[in-house]
Structure 1
Amino acid sequence: MTRVVSIYLPYLATDRIRRADSGIPADQPIAVIERRGPKRWVSAADAAAQKAGVRIGMQAAKAQALFAGLAMIDADAAADAEALRRITLWALTVYSPIVAVDAPDGIVLDTEGADHLQGGEAPMLTRLGNQFHARGLTARIAVADTWGAAHACARAARTQTVVVPRGEAAGATERLPISLLRLPEPIVSDLRMLGFRTIGELSATPRAPLALRFGPEIGRRIDQMFGRLSEPIEPIRAPEWIEVSRAFAEPIGAAETINKYVGRLIVQLVAELQRKGLGVRRTDLIVEKVDGSRQAIRAGTAKPARDIAWLTKLFRDRTEKIEPGFGIEKLTLAAVITELLAEEQHASSLVEEKNEDITPLIDIFGNRGQRVYRVAPVASDVPERSVRRISAAAAEVEETWVHYWPRPVRLLDRPDRIDAIALLPDHPPATITWRGKRHRVRRADGPERAFGEWWTCDAEFTAVRDYFIIENDAGERLWIFRSGDGIDPETGSHKWFLHGIFA
């Protein structure tokens, strides 16, 4: 059973203005002003403005009088909608093949096909929130069984993330206000006049009187929220994407039939790619079923590709995950990420060509949800900053390390605190205690001094580390350092840390 993630962007308008590099200082509150004839009111305000007392719906003159340093920007609904569309397209290329706009202030995605985000729903949502924050966007994220439940919980959340357990949509939403049921505003106003406040109160009311007065919309939204009525997510598409599809007069369901038509779609897709001189990096297969539900499969390649046999293999390895249900009525293949790909001339068939390309192996691991990358050197004296991750198929990096001291084969993600007995300022420890175990130092080499990078962080202007290579009684060789020069407290805390292990 798939799960639905709703991403609510409460400050979309103000975040868009800040991301546009409008020259507004980062600490200056922003209010967005809507105009209608002579009337001007606040249609959006960022967190700083709301903390100062600015409220949505407040008259602009009152907001300006309330806070003199408030930046007041005219509303641009078209720009907000375009920004939301771009964010949704970005989310589709990064997270899941099924992502849609949840207007006017959010997006919704189906976790089907988002294998790389798995590892637990709570870590998945935290990772999503951090990635949105890194792009200058405030997000509140919820995951639930249905679009309606996730939508409501994301907008009612007081924390960044909310995980609604499977089968608990009714319990999680019954106390939420009826405004979160995605009903038209006139219906919500009339329901409030009748005394309804929460979704639970409304769902417990007999349907017939409500349908007689308001039509079927209330019942439809309640059934969608509680999973009694399906609500397919129509994935967003960019007009420039290359896309081919096949609709069936009679639904299909057999595995060999699915593979046959997927193969034909790949031939059509590759023909279009070749005509435009492109190769595909990420391809989505959208399966539309008779019951209105959708399933998606995503295949990625480390380098641009348009090899029919290889793309067919990538999909055949994964089509076994397709659950046809009552039948499939349409298959769509979309090239989501493409790059320029020049024609290559292969060697003569009379000469045996040595192929050392491991890209196919990288593709296989990547499409199984495993992260494949290479480690490249970085010019830095701080050990944990001297490496970075790059794409597994990236070009060779010419930069290399320049060190006159040996380096450990294993570098810890973070230096591990140890207790040490040593003479200051330049002597290595006589003993260290690491994770409760005492090690007597038999041999040591050092110190090697590493200076802080003051050009990246002001706090490192005077910081230093003194590194030692030590060997214990068991012959284990460890890489340790003392924070500071052993004399001046401003250079470091003079505490000891273990940073690496030698072979």
Structure 2
Amino acid sequence: MRVVSLFLPDWPIDRLRRVQGAAPEGDAPYAEAPLILAQRAGNRRLIYALNDTARAAGLKPGMAVAQAQALVPGLTIRDATLAEDEAALEKLGLWALRLYAPLVAVDAPDGIVIDATGAAHLHGGEEPMLRDMVERLAEAGVWARVAMADSWGAAHAFARASSKPVLVVPPGGSAALLQRLPLGFLRLPRDMVEQLRRLGFERVADIADQPRAPLAQRFGPLLHQRLDQAFGRRREPIEPARAPELIEAHRQFAEPIGAPETLARYTGKLTDALCELLVARGVGVRRLDLLFHRVDGEVQAIRIGTAKPNRDARRLTRLLCDRLETIDPRFGVEAMRLCASLVEPFETRQVLSSLLDEAPAADVISLVDILANRVGAEKLYRFAPVESDVPERSVMRIAPASAPTGKTWPLRQPRPVRLLRRPEPIETMALLPDHPPVSFSWRGVRRRVKRADGPERIFGEWWKRDAELSTVRDYFRVEDEQGERFWIFRSGDGEHPETGTQSWFLHGIFG
């Protein structure tokens, strides 16, 4: 199990900035003026949240507002809106649900928990997925820290204890790190933590190996419940968030099921039912979540994606069944739910055929979907032209099913089938300035040039960088004695040092 805890340290303040934007006219911006959000507790008003400026001035949550006003003249005070903060947090959870994983829940009041088991590979791996979360939220003006660990309790603790924006704890590595954390990170009530501290228990390691009966008698079952949840000894089911407008099909079973063939059969039935709903709404699915509710209360999930909007029940069933081996039914599954977490308008095309028509183009989208769900969508791409004379800038990667860009590569000179990611230096023997090499050494192999054509001069793009104002490359197509053909270039014109280093490089290989 791999769980992500997304921690939003200043969620009430960040949400207020997003809602209200800049401060009222005449006031300093919220980012600069000391700002607190106040909450009433009985007859007193206490600080509920504060920005960095107020924190730097010595204020902290729980302090009386009257005391804060005395310490910081000109303090901006706003009333806390807990209900609105919670509602916005639920919307953020739905955003994470659509984008990252099928099992997402709100971890009130300042976080989100995500069961990312089996979902990270769809985003390039665990750390790239977490970095993407932090970067997207930063662009929206929300400060976040995120951690991934083997349990909800461990990930929750690490996200709040770490100073790093992204922390990925390797599988099996949570226990050692938990031992060093203060008890306050175990999601225990503050008064319980204070009582434990007075008894001499400061860190998790202090109580991890203590006899349980005396502590349970004094503090109740919650202490060891949180301890076991953090160490992964006790399951903590995540009740997934659900959008009201979500298109889904549901099946409840009178008796738990668990056989692979039974799970596959009901997967097909749910897919048929969901595709009927998609047709009725005129949409196709781009992301599909299949949830398995086990009798022990745990929910396991499968997520698949498609390159284009799809409502072909047979194709979607195959994609889902390919991932069934990742599901552990354990004591049985009592319910299954299939949700279309991302849909798009579905365009229908009429295909007219006759004996004179050419054969229809092969549809590779099905293959793309199969490969993307097995190895990750980011590993599949195709190349598209970019308007640039510099070879490595004249191509970009786009999704396999992307629409044509409408651009083509110019056919002035032949180009190699394989272009190296970076030009690799070679050792050559050549006459300057315009002659091709007589021989060259690349990757430890010396090759004698039999035929050559060139030079083709390519100038730097001075409008992008001043350093390319006078730089040039002279490219040659060469063939060695074994018949292999290469694309090599000299950095510079062979005469003037400001045009380049006059070093030689191999940039491509012809088929």
TM-score norm. by structure 2 comes to 0.80
Deviation track 1:426-474 (CA, whole Å, cap 9, x = no partner) reads: 66556554444455555351242232263xx455562634141242544
Matches within 5 A, 1:50-61: 56-57=60-61, 59=68
* Distance (whole Å) between structure 2 residues aligned to residue 54 and residue 420 of structure 1: 67
Give the alignment partner of residue 191 of structure 1, picking from 180, 190, 196.
196
Matches within 5 A, 1:162-241: 162-241=167-246
Decide which structure has the larger Cα Rg and report it: 2
* Residue 407 of structure 2 is aligned to residue 399 of structure 1: yes
* Residue 109 of structure 2 is aligned to residue 100 of structure 1: no
Matches within 5 A, 1:232-251: 232-251=237-256
**Could you tell me how far 1:334 is from its partner in structure 2?**
0.3
* Residue 468 of structure 2 is aligned to residue 478 of structure 1: no
* Residue 303 of structure 2 is aligned to residue 298 of structure 1: yes
* Distance (whole Å) between structure 2 residues aligned to residue 384 and residue 73 of structure 1: 54
1:156 to 1:239, Cα distance in 2 relative to 1, 3 A: same
Q: What residue identity is the alignment partner of 1:288?
A: H
* Residue 397 of structure 2 is aligned to residue 389 of structure 1: yes
Q: Retained in 1: the 8 A contact 2:38–2:48? A: no
Give the alignment partner of residue 157 of structure 1, picking from 154, 157, 162.
162
* Residue 42 of structure 2 is aligned to residue 33 of structure 1: no
Identify the range of structure 1 (268-277 vs 87-96) with the bigger mean alpha-carbon deviation: 87-96
* Distance (whole Å) between structure 2 residues aligned to residue 78 and residue 403 of structure 1: 62
Give the alignment partner of residue 475 of structure 2, picking from 468, 474, 477.
468
Look up the SS of the partner of 1:364 in the other structure. helix
Deviation track 1:261-295 (CA, whole Å, cap 9, x = no partner) reads: 22222232122212211111111100011112222
**Could you tell me how far 1:355 is from its partner in structure 2?**
6.8
Look up the SS of the partner of 1:498 in the other structure. strand
Partner of 2:313: 308
1:12 to 1:438, Cα distance in 2 relative to 1, 3 A: farther
Partner of 2:461: 452
1:162 to 1:134, Cα distance in 2 relative to 1, 3 A: closer
Q: What residue identity is the alignment partner of 2:399?
A: S
Deviation track 1:109-150 (CA, whole Å, cap 9, x = no partner) reads: 2233316348xxxx8233124323542536544333211112
Deviation track 1:398-421 (CA, whole Å, cap 9, x = no partner) reads: 211224122221122233344556
1:136 to 1:112, Cα distance in 2 relative to 1, 3 A: closer
Q: What residue identity is the alignment partner of 1:88?
A: G
* Residue 379 of structure 2 is aligned to residue 357 of structure 1: no
**Could you tell me how far 1:347 is from its partner in structure 2?**
6.0
**Could you tell me how far 1:173 is from its partner in structure 2?**
0.4
1:489 to 1:127, Cα distance in 2 relative to 1, 3 A: farther
**Could you tell me how far 1:476 is from its partner in structure 2?**
3.5
* Distance (whole Å) between structure 2 residues aligned to residue 43 and residue 345 of structure 1: 58
* Distance (whole Å) between structure 2 residues aligned to residue 109 and residue 172 of structure 1: 20
Deviation track 1:228-274 (CA, whole Å, cap 9, x = no partner) reads: 21111222222221122122232112233323322222232122212
Q: How many matched pairs?
A: 489
Q: What residue identity is the alignment partner of 2:279?
A: Q
Matches within 5 A, 1:305-454: 305-343=310-348, 354=360, 356-371=362-377, 372-419=380-427, 432-439=440-447, 443-452=452-461, 454=463
* Distance (whole Å) between structure 2 residues aligned to residue 483 and residue 30 of structure 1: 54
1:351 to 1:287, Cα distance in 2 relative to 1, 3 A: farther
Look up the SS of the partner of 1:405 in the other structure. coil
1:440 to 1:100, Cα distance in 2 relative to 1, 3 A: farther
Identify the range of structure 1 (345-354 vs 234-243) with the bigger mean alpha-carbon deviation: 345-354
Q: Retained in 2: the 8 A contact 1:41–1:60? A: no
* Distance (whole Å) between structure 1 residues aligned to residue 493 and residue 9 of structure 2: 48
Q: What residue identity is the alignment partner of 1:388?
A: M
1:264 to 1:64, Cα distance in 2 relative to 1, 3 A: farther
Q: Retained in 2: the 8 A contact 1:29–1:71? A: no
Q: Retained in 1: the 8 A contact 2:134–2:165? A: no
Q: Retained in 1: the 8 A contact 2:127–2:168? A: no
Q: Retained in 1: the 8 A contact 2:39–2:79? A: no
**Could you tell me how far 1:30 is from its partner in structure 2?**
8.0
Deviation track 1:192-228 (CA, whole Å, cap 9, x = no partner) reads: 3433211121333333343334332212111111222
* Residue 131 of structure 2 is aligned to residue 124 of structure 1: no
Look up the SS of the partner of 1:389 in the other structure. strand
Look up the SS of the partner of 2:133 in the other structure. helix
Deviation track 1:368-416 (CA, whole Å, cap 9, x = no partner) reads: 2344332221222332332222232222332112241222211222333
Q: Retained in 2: the 8 A contact 1:143–1:164? A: yes
1:220 to 1:356, Cα distance in 2 relative to 1, 3 A: same
Deviation track 1:287-312 (CA, whole Å, cap 9, x = no partner) reads: 01111222211232222122223323
1:346 to 1:451, Cα distance in 2 relative to 1, 3 A: closer
Identify the range of structure 1 (108-117 vs 405-414) with the bigger mean alpha-carbon deviation: 108-117
Look up the SS of the partner of 2:177 in the other structure. helix
* Distance (whole Å) between structure 1 residues aligned to residue 329 and residue 443 of structure 2: 53
Look up the SS of the partner of 1:88 in the other structure. helix
Identify the range of structure 1 (80-89 vs 306-315) with the bigger mean alpha-carbon deviation: 80-89
Q: What residue identity is the alignment partner of 2:274?
A: L
Q: Retained in 1: the 8 A contact 2:38–2:78? A: no
Q: Which runs of 5+ in 2 are unaligned?
A: none
Question: RMSD of the TM alignment (CA)?
Answer: 4.1
Look up the SS of the partner of 2:114 in the other structure. strand
Look up the SS of the partner of 1:143 in the other structure. strand
Partner of 1:3: 2
* Distance (whole Å) between structure 1 residues aligned to residue 21 and residue 59 of structure 2: 23
